[in-house]
Amino acid sequence: MKTDLFSPYELKGLQIRNRIVMAPMCQYSVTAKDGKPNEWHYVHYLTRAIGGTGLLIMEMTDVHPDGRITDHDLGIWSDDHIPAFSRIIDGVHAHGAKIGIQIAHAGRKAEDAEVPVAPSAIPFPGDAYKMPRALTTDEVRDIVKLFGDAARRAVQAGVDTIELHGAHGYLIHQFQSPLTNKRDDVYGQNLAQFGVEVIQAVKKEMPADMPLIFRISAVEYADGGYDIDHAIELAKAYQAAGVDAFHVSSGGEGLAGQRKPGNSSGYQVPFARQIREALQVPVIAVGLLADAEMAQSVIVNEDADLVAIARGLLRDPYWATHAAVQLGHAHPYIPRQYQRGY
């Protein structure tokens, strides 16, 4: 049978009905500023499950109140957060989709923290960002533990997978980048060390058959930023520590310099393919892939194992259903209640 966008996929113990992933996208909608998902998040995620998406990854959810990009972001720093996440997860499961959560810490990009923290006291460029304070070695170890605690809560809430956010200039990325990590302790001597310890702490809290996904920026666009070769070496260390799949993005570490992102459909797909081939590891491709034919080609050409749709799923919660109809799939995910519309 030909493998295509609507072929089922198995990642460790996770069975996904198709190759379509909803990429994590911050909603900035926690009006109570308590980190708990609310009715907006419930409707947002369940609608995409009803619309046929195979795997949803809940938006960046932070391990500490000062690890949020803004105070309107999700958090999972307390057991009090678990019930609200469980309600969403149970609802998504009821409609045949699987759901994971992206856990993270914004580091120097925490806009509402009174004093953000980072590997080194180097601010992110722009008026919205403050001068961060460099973490002590003991504080770094404390944050590693926070990631483990967050993973435990996510598992208790019922997630099918966990994604670690090691891209787009957030804390794990800050540690792995020579641009933002000027430390002289073990976390500066080995740029993968923080990420490796976070992975190990999270894996200890996950069932053996639950896959761990790592979102990585394959290249940086700021002048002097790292290239794909550095990302591949990081990915090798992370894979050895327990990562089961990589969600391959790029940039986010600073302002683009001479090297600028292509920002055309599929511009990040070659990075996904390079990591897939170098590590023989499952990868998720992402980046302006909302054209159904383009998304289909990524799978058919074996550039990636899964395709993440971001803005396309903001515009159209039923993107997967409409892609199935467009591509002539024999069994599009049309809810019984809506079939007369097709």
Both structure tokens of 167: 């891209």
Beta-bridge mates of residue 215: 165, 247
Distance of CA 76 to the CA centre of its chain: 15
What are the mean pLDDT values of the chain's consecutive 10-residue runs (342 residues total)?
90 97 98 98 98 98 98 98 98 98 98 98 95 98 98 98 98 98 98 98 98 98 97 98 98 92 91 98 97 97 98 97 93 88 89
Letter string b/e over residues 154-193, b meaning 16 or more CB atoms within 10 A of that residue's CB? bbebbbbbbbbbbbbbbbbbbbbbebbbebeeebbeebbb
Beta-bridge mates of residue 61: 74, 103
178/165 Cα distance (integer angstroms): 18
What three-state secondary structure class fits 165?
A: strand
According to DSSP H, which parts of 14-113 are helical?
Answer: 39-50, 82-94
Placement of tokens 């992402």 in the chain: 286
Pairing of β 55-62 and β 98-104: parallel
What pLDDT score does 235 carry? 98
| Strand residues in 125-206 grouped as ranges (E) | 133-134, 161-166
| Residues recorded for the chain | 342
Both structure tokens of 37: 């998902």
User: 95: exposed, middle or buried (C-beta count within 10 Å: 0-12, 13-18, 19+)?
Assistant: middle
Could you tell me if 251 and 217 are in contact, meaning their C-beta atoms sit under 8 angstroms apart?
yes
Could you tell me if 161 and 98 are in contact, meaning their C-beta atoms sit under 8 angstroms apart?
yes
Supply the pTM of this predicted model.
0.97
Indicate the residue type of 309: I
Question: 307 — alpha (psi -120 to 50), left (phi > 0) or beta?
Answer: beta
Both structure tokens of 204: 């200890």
What pLDDT score does 261 carry? 87
Number of CB atoms found within 10 A of residue 30's CB: 20
What pLDDT score does 1 carry? 55
**DSSP element (H, E) containing 117:** strand 117-118
